Structure 1
Amino acid sequence: MQPLSTPPSSGRSAVDEAVATLRSRVLDGVLGPGARIVEEQAAAELGVSRHTLRAAMRQLVSDGLLRHEPHRGVHVPILTAEDITDVFRIRALLEHEAMRDVASRAYCPPDAVAALAALESLGDDAGWHEVVEYDRAFHRALIDAAGSVRISRTYAATEAEIVFCLVQLRPHYDRPVEVAREHRELLEPVAAGDVRKAQRLLDVHLRDAERNLLGSLPGVRAGSVSPDSTT
């Protein structure tokens, strides 16, 4: 972890810089599930005070990317089957509603189109964090295109945990082009105004991701997702 020896860039505070650095470490898998944040060591590596570090960790705990537990301190969470199922339940509820709205208008959000183009441009040597970012941007664009402040706000509240799930899907995709292909398949019926097909493909997309995550947990079978776990 590189020390923050230079002043915060772009007007960001030291806390913002520490949040960004820790976030990227978690999302890139440098700090893996279960990794504990040792305050003295982390503050020294980041080149910030322990007060600044604690403020940064509080933000990431609030986002769901870190967890604080008595007698264990702050650590990267280890997702349980219940965590994964709950995150995908929220995703299904919100994304199906957004998909219904945009497909009924045959409207392809420009930000979703741009995210898809960025995914398709990635080479096999691209970092997984790039794939995750464009995947996140694609789904967020569909959510925001529904035009509901409350849907967007609710989605934003769980977005960090959604991204944390995406990070752990890396072993299930050999190449970024696979991810891009799935997202192009999602967008085509939206452009055609085919609501039923768009929602069916979204359902498959979310079910497959949830099933892969659950299947990677010790003692959980890959096919253990309930048929009624998403709508």
Structure 2
Amino acid sequence: MAELPGLADDRALLGRTSTAERVSDILRNRVAEGYFPPGTKLSEDSIGGALGVSRNTLREAFRLLTHEGLLEHQLNRGVFVRVLTVEDVEDIYRTRRLVECAVVRGLAARPRPLDGLAAAVAGGLDAARRRAWAEVSTANIHFHRELVALSGSERTDELMRRVLAELRLAFHVVADPRLLHEPYLARNQRLLAILEAGDFREAERELARYLDDSLHGLVEVYGRSVRG
């Protein structure tokens, strides 16, 4: 059985109440981090052994993540981390545009503190100075999660957590993460400044342009990557 030392470190997170939901949380985070890249076959023996969970618990966690679109079951082959199609990426962005723009629109009636957004911007700039482009990607995801959190809705937070985890499957296929993420450091700063100024109508317009440009850029580089 192959050893998975990094994943074994997560075993402590399960505590004494190991459940499929907790296992799926751990695996979701690991997939989002690129620990299991797209196309990876997931070994029940290795993962179950690393986490110390039963085969039935692990299979239920796989089922949950398959439902979320992070994994796929291939008949007679096993369970794999999904490789998104370009159409999947486009659909993810349709969802993002609907949700994120609606959140910004709603701030006009119910402004919220922007500390989380500011921290995500600072984290991205710090990672860029260190040329840690994977961390820049993570900071950008945090920026958008903090943006959605301004809705004050746990259900919306949960929806976008899953959507953004799925989006990171595409990021892990792109060969040059700097090319993908660096341009949005400045755009995150600009969007934050507009929100801090209280111009929520302009912020919504800026966010819509931002997401459209992000989609077009990602589709271009992602399409080349998956085609080889």
Aligned AA (2:167): I
**TM norm structure 2:** 0.75
Q: Distance in 2 between matches of 1:12 and 1:114?
A: 34
Residue 183 in 1 paired to residue 166 in 2? no
Residue 142 in 1 paired to residue 134 in 2? no
Residue 217 in 1 paired to residue 227 in 2? no
Q: Distance in 2 between matches of 1:95 and 1:186?
A: 12
> Pairwise mapping of residues 10-159 of structure 1 onto structure 2 (< 5 A)?
11=15, 13-14=17-18, 18-19=23-24, 22-44=27-49, 46=51, 48-102=53-107, 107-122=112-127, 123-126=129-132, 128=134, 130-148=135-153, 151-159=156-164
Aligned AA (1:214): V
- The C-alpha deviation readout for 1:177-210, integer Å capped at 9, x for no partner, is 6443221111111111223432232123212222
Aligned AA (1:203): A
**Greater CA drift, 159-168 or 90-99:** 159-168
Asked if structure 1 preserves the Cα contact closer than 8 Å seen for 2:133 and 2:181, the reply is: no
Asked if structure 2 preserves the Cα contact closer than 8 Å seen for 1:103 and 1:192, the reply is: no
- The C-alpha deviation readout for 1:201-221, integer Å capped at 9, x for no partner, is 212321222223322225999
Asked if structure 2 preserves the Cα contact closer than 8 Å seen for 1:43 and 1:49, the reply is: yes
Asked if structure 2 preserves the Cα contact closer than 8 Å seen for 1:36 and 1:73, the reply is: yes
The change in CA–CA distance for 1:189 and 1:63 in structure 2 (over 3 A counts) is same
**TM norm structure 1:** 0.74
**Alignment partner for residue 205 of structure 2, among 194, 200, 207?**
200
SS at match of 2:88: helix
**Greater CA drift, 9-18 or 155-164:** 9-18
Percent identity over paired residues: 32
SS at match of 1:173: helix
The change in CA–CA distance for 1:25 and 1:192 in structure 2 (over 3 A counts) is same
- Indicate the structure with greater helix content: 2
Q: Distance in 1 between matches of 2:9 and 2:38?
A: 28
Q: Distance in 2 between matches of 1:148 and 1:49?
A: 34
SS at match of 2:176: helix
Residue 4 in 1 paired to residue 25 in 2? no
Q: Distance in 2 between matches of 1:127 and 1:160?
A: 17
SS at match of 1:31: coil
SS at match of 1:217: helix
Q: Distance in 1 between matches of 2:105 and 2:17?
A: 40
Q: Distance in 2 between matches of 1:12 and 1:213?
A: 42
Q: Distance in 2 between matches of 1:131 and 1:208?
A: 18
Unaligned runs of 5+ in 1: 222-231
Asked if structure 1 preserves the Cα contact closer than 8 Å seen for 2:195 and 2:203, the reply is: yes
Offset at 1:138?
A: 1.6
Asked if structure 2 preserves the Cα contact closer than 8 Å seen for 1:119 and 1:176, the reply is: no
The change in CA–CA distance for 1:54 and 1:132 in structure 2 (over 3 A counts) is farther
Offset at 1:109?
A: 2.1
